[in-house]
Structure 1
Amino acid sequence: MKKADKYEKELEGAYDKGELVSERPSKTEKDKFKAAAQATFVKDRRVNIRLSSPDLMDIQARALEEGVPYQTLIASVLHKFVSGRLIEKPSRLTTSSTRAAKKRAAG
């Protein structure tokens, strides 16, 4: 388990002091959140795709980095892409497929 960063320690301290107050959503908000969650997480179709071994290994490594199963990560990325919410952030990993692509582009 990773160590808490400064922000997380501040949150924990505020929680311990009772400074954080939980606000309960209204019934309307709860219903809206519930409907959104149900629409997002219904998985009623199966898709098979072929990936290169290096890409799959990179996906599995990123999933491990994020703490989620790799198939869940793939589904999440696809969902964010189709809903227009995909925001890329650099990985702490130096991926082999990225290195290969840069070499091909430079060469």
Structure 2
Amino acid sequence: MRKKIKPEDKQYEDDIMASFESGEWQSVPGLKEETARYASSASATLTKDKRINIRLSSRDLEDIQMRAAEEGMPYQTLIASILHKYASGRLIENTQHPAPRATGRSKKMLAG
């Protein structure tokens, strides 16, 4: 079954094709190496072959679960993503102190 192209999608595709045909696009230097690097990174990210156990405070776990729910993902996936970003050097520390926020526990207490 072929996807129906909407008029705005067709215009977008036509613009990209015109841009390509006019020579505006250039290949990335070292394309093969870059492709291999990204493929390796994706493979390592998606391969979950080890299991760990970790002890967290109830408060931290509730906060993580709440943030995961806000992002629409399981909390274990969020934890794995945070750890992967840290291990790969892509987790950026916020040096500013965040504004005080209600934690999962305090929100539950306020609701009850």
1:96 aligns to 2:90 (yes or no):
no
Alignment of 1:1-107 (within 5 A): 15=9, 17-18=11-12, 21=16, 28=32, 30-87=35-92, 94-96=101-103
Report the Cα distance in structure 2 between the residues aligned to 1:58 and 1:16, rounded to whole angstroms.
44
Structure-1 separation of matches of 2:10 and 2:47: 37
Equivalent in the alignment of 2:3 = none
Is the Cα contact below 8 Å between 1:58 and 1:95 reproduced in 2?
no
RMSD: 3.7
Q: Please, which runs of 5 or more residues in structure 1 have no aligned partner?
A: 1-13, 100-107
Shift of 1:17: 4.1
Structure 1 residue 32: deviation in Å? 4.0
Between 1 and 2, higher relative CO (CA 8 Å, sep ≥ 6) is seen in: 2
Amino acid at match of 1:80: K
**Whole-Å separation in 1 of the counterparts to 2:51 and 2:45:** 15
Rate the CA distance shift 1:88–1:15 in 2: closer, same or farther, 3 A: farther
Cα distance in 2 for residues equivalent to 1:21 and 1:67:
33
TM-score when scaled to structure 2? 0.54
Q: Percent identity?
A: 49
Alpha-carbon shift at residue 66 of structure 1 (Å):
1.5
TM-score computed with the length of structure 1 as normaliser: 0.56
Q: Please report how far the alpha carbon of residue 67 of structure 1 lies from its aligned counterpart in structure 2 after TM superposition.
A: 1.8
Q: What code does the residue aligned with 1:84 have?
A: G
Matched pairs, number: 83
Q: Deviations over 1:7-65 (max 9, x none)?
A: xxxxxxx7574266388x99835544322211222111100011111111100111111
Higher Cα Rg, which structure: 2
